[in-house]
Amino acid sequence: MTTIHNLGFPRIGAQRELKFALESYWKGASPLGALEALGAQLRQRHWQQQAGLDLVPVGDFSFYDQVLDTSFLLGHLPQRVQGLPGDALDNYFRVARGRSAPAAEGAGGPAAGVAAGEMTKWFDTNYHYIVPEFTAATTFRLDASRLLAQLAEAKAQGVPAKPVIIGPVTYLSIGKSKDGSSRLALLERLLPAYAELLELLAAQGVEWVQIDEPVLVTELDAQWQHAFNTAYHHLKTARVKILLATYFGQLQDNAYLAANLPVAGLHVDAVNDRAGVLPLLNLLPAHKVLSLGVINGRNIWKTDLAAVLDWVEPLAQRLGDRLWLAPSCSLLHVPVDLASERQMDAEVRSWLAFALQKLEELRVLGRALREGRGAVAAELQANQAALAARRASRRVHNPAVQAAVQGITARQGQRASGYAQRAPRQAAVLDLPAYPTTTIGSFPQTAEIRQARSDYKAGRLDEAGYQALMRAEIERSVREQERLGLDVLVHGEAERNDMVEYFGEQLEGYAFSQFGWVQSYGSRCVKPPILFGDVRRPRAMTVDWIAYAQALTTKPMKGMLTGPVTLLNWSFVRDDQPRAASCRQLALAIREEVLDLERAGVKVIQIDEAALREGLPLRRSQWADYLGWAVESFRIAANGVRDETQIHTHMCYSEFNDIIASIADMDADVITIETARSDMELLDAFESFDYPNQIGPGVYDIHSPNIPAQDRMVQLMKKAAERVPAERLWVNPDCGLKTRQWAEVIPALGNMVAAARALRAQA
């Protein structure tokens, strides 16, 4: 009998219930008890929705981030939050975002907040985690109270529970040493906490524990490979069965290691590594379970169930009850329920599967293997009909777009002159001071903005009324920036719902959901558009708004665009052609918008590529191909302008020191990056790489409500000037200000402008 199970479920709720409960608690509008109760309700609902699976994950729910949960599970708290008052969740939120609820901070807590933990991307996804902080003195002390409480809830509800935890080697590998000490040296201290946890779970009657070790799909040197053997030989005496879960890529040279670790089962991502499954079988001991991730946990297209059965059925005959089936990874990365989408394009909707639909696909596969295909003949027939309809749809293919991509030339990716020739021409046009100040694009999306957008979509507000309200918000943003003394302004993006969705709504080849929310970090959720067909720009998308904003001021106004790589990586992308082909289509569309902005008199154009790094394959051997077409796509989008037009780009919350040469090859005149949370560590690459163009290292961490002090920003910029010549430095926040409040933004930007003036005075 094939076991069917799940690796993880979306935690935010089908209607983003967790988001709103968190934000209410953080504002002090609701008590901690209400947040805890909402968490329990969501867990119960999600377990019920997974009914029928043989094993259901427990411990995958989180109030902010599963890596931060692991840090608290292991008693691994940064020194700066130890000993502070409040509930354990208050310290948890202090690490996550710098502060907790006002009541906690008013009861002896740090009124100004503490430094939030550094945040970066979870492998190659758009999910952000809080980076564990290690020193040579780091110790661990197990605190399993929350996990055990959730396990007790699940058992009381009759859930066939499989606790889920992040493995010790992955936990160390994704953390950061704060003093240069070896992370691996901590493994000996860490393993007793894991052993203690497994014994506690065994005492609760747990049979299987899922330990996630996705770092196994990356390139590991001999020390890290040895760490796996050390860790799991230490844990092999535990009275539970361990399912070691890998995902997001291929095992490749780690296959022998993974197959022979002393664990009871191994999960592999058979969507990404189907070719590796048969060779793995020859390495896997005869007693060991093999769990295959056959449903894509990161995209939303229906699975070809017949094709999966064609290759899984022989494996089932060979392995018997040693074969398990699951999604490729946690379903955290997809929306909850397609059934909520009553306003979506019906044709596109028929091609999709969200989390609940993916679990139903899994149940169909399990039943087919147990009872034969005849038992699910109707489901298989409906599945094949939907796949055939998608392949035949005329909306998917546009010959004109395909011809345009085929006609791309090398010249389209080249500026007329090199940076050394462009820079003085741009300086003459813009006339900016030293340490010029700017922001990344968005300003607070107030309740009034959101209400106007909702009324407009619902037909309660006409086009003229909506335009008037948005123009008023744009003018407010411009006037505030003028009053603060910023040098290069932005229009604030009041009219934009999301930096990807806004553009996707105006491009052919995209479709949209109403409730397709996915967690990005904490309470921040995004609704990725669905790139289902060839992409074309029917008309200008931003020109009128930017031209209006520029007419309000004599200062330079940045045109704000999302770049082709980010549009690709932050969408659910069609799987019927190479991603590179879709990216080049997007590049041509954005290129048309860039040229229209330039013709409208816009002298500074920012093309955000926030997601460039996250699309990087997990193995270095595959980097060159991705970076080749990704950088080419940016250059196609950006490089049709005159020398006098200044091109900016922005990247956030990514470790990109190892791809700095490719970033330089993008040839943007100015790049802005996140460095506030990392204390300028992300600029270490510039000690060995002579970055040729201008750079704005973010000095204002916008993902925290804390207001940075002027002195702190001056200090950060001086650190930056040790690596990059001061004449090429800009001063800016590390990301857009959409999620902040005006009451936070104005004093923070005021301090930032004052910091820039102080730096000029000291120059």
Closest among 270, 266, 337, 340 to 10, alpha carbons compared: 337
Report whether 590 belongs to an annotated binding site. Answer: no
* Tens-digit pLDDT profile for residues 154-202: 999 999 999 999 999 999 999 999 999 999 999 999 999 999 999 999 9
Predicted confidence (pLDDT) at residue 460 exceeds the cutoff of 80? yes
Q: Does 555 lie in the same domain as 457?
A: yes
The catalytic site residues sit at 703
- Tell me which residue range forms the domain holding 46: 3-78+117-392
Whether the Cβ atoms of residue 333 and residue 60 lie closer than 8 Å to each other: no
Residue 687: per-residue pLDDT = 73
Q: Does 175 lie in the same domain as 69?
A: yes
Residue predicted with more confidence, 673 or 525:
525
Predicted confidence (pLDDT) at residue 653 exceeds the cutoff of 60? no
What number of residues does the chain have?
A: 763
Last residue of a domain, one of 360, 392, 424: 392
Average pLDDT along the chain: 94
E strands in 414-457: none
Q: How is the beta sheet containing 508-511 ordered, strand by strand? A: 508-511, 530-536, 572-573
Q: Within 13 Å, how many C-alpha atoms sit on residue 291's CB side?
A: 31
Q: Does 361 lie in the same domain as 261?
A: yes
Predicted confidence (pLDDT) at residue 110 exceeds the cutoff of 90? no
Report whether 525 belongs to an annotated binding site. Answer: yes
**SS3 state of residue 331:** helix
* Tens-digit pLDDT profile for residues 75-89: 999 999 888 888 889
Residue 112: per-residue pLDDT = 76
Report whether 313 belongs to an annotated binding site. Answer: no
Residue 624: per-residue pLDDT = 95
Of 237-241, 467-471, 677-681, minimum mean pLDDT range: 677-681
How many domains are contained in the chain? 2
Report whether 681 belongs to an annotated binding site. Answer: no
Report whether 257 belongs to an annotated binding site. Answer: no
Average pLDDT for residues 492-503, to the nearest whole number? 91
**Do the domain assignments include residue 523?**
no
Q: How many CB atoms lie within 10 A of CB 29?
A: 11
CA–CA distance, 735 with 675 (Å, rounded to integer) = 10
Whether the Cβ atoms of residue 562 and residue 496 lie closer than 8 Å to each other: no
Predicted confidence (pLDDT) at residue 683 exceeds the cutoff of 80? no
10 Å CB burial of residue 382 (0-12, 13-18, 19+) is middle
Residue 614: per-residue pLDDT = 84
Residue 654: per-residue pLDDT = 58
Average pLDDT for residues 628-653, to the nearest whole number? 94
Report whether 607 belongs to an annotated binding site. Answer: no
Average pLDDT for residues 614-639, to the nearest whole number? 95
Report whether 18 belongs to an annotated binding site. Answer: yes
Q: Residue 442: beta bridge partners?
A: 492
CA–CA distance, 130 with 122 (Å, rounded to integer) = 9
Q: Does 694 lie in the same domain as 570?
A: yes
Q: Within 13 Å, how many C-alpha atoms sit on residue 576's CB side?
A: 17
Residues 6+ apart with CB under 8 A from 305: 361, 364, 365, 368, 379, 380, 383, 384
Whichever domain contains 621, its CATH number is 3.20.20.210
CA–CA distance, 669 with 692 (Å, rounded to integer) = 9
**SS3 state of residue 344:** coil
Whether the Cβ atoms of residue 699 and residue 734 lie closer than 8 Å to each other: yes
Q: Give Dmax (Cα) for the chain.
A: 80
Query: In this structure, is the dihedral angle defined by the CA atoms of residues 235, 237, 243 and 249, taken in order, positive or negative?
Result: positive
Report whether 345 belongs to an annotated binding site. Answer: no
**Do the domain assignments include residue 483?**
yes
CA–CA distance, 749 with 737 (Å, rounded to integer) = 10
The most confident of 94-108, 495-509, 679-693, 695-709, by mean pLDDT: 495-509
Predicted confidence (pLDDT) at residue 437 exceeds the cutoff of 70? yes
Q: Does 454 lie in the same domain as 361?
A: no
DSSP-assigned states of every residue in 694-746? EEEE--S-TTSS----HHHHHHHHHHHHTTS-GGGB-B--SS--TTS-HHHHH
**Do the domain assignments include residue 330?**
yes
Q: Does 259 lie in the same domain as 166?
A: yes
Q: Does 308 lie in the same domain as 428?
A: no
Whether the Cβ atoms of residue 560 and residue 546 lie closer than 8 Å to each other: yes
Q: What backbone torsions phi and psi does residue 404 show, to the nearest 5 degrees?
A: -65, -40
Q: Label residue 655 by pLDDT band (50, 70, 90).
A: low
Residue written as token pair 């506030």: 676
Closest among 232, 196, 188 to 211, alpha carbons compared: 232
Predicted confidence (pLDDT) at residue 108 exceeds the cutoff of 80? no
Q: Label residue 336 by pLDDT band (50, 70, 90).
A: very high
Average pLDDT for residues 538-543, to the nearest whole number? 97
Q: For the stretch 721-752, what's the b/e string if a residue is b when 16 or more beta carbons lie within 10 angstroms of its beta carbon?
A: bebbebebbbbbbbbbbbbbeeebbbebbebb
Q: Does 365 lie in the same domain as 227?
A: yes
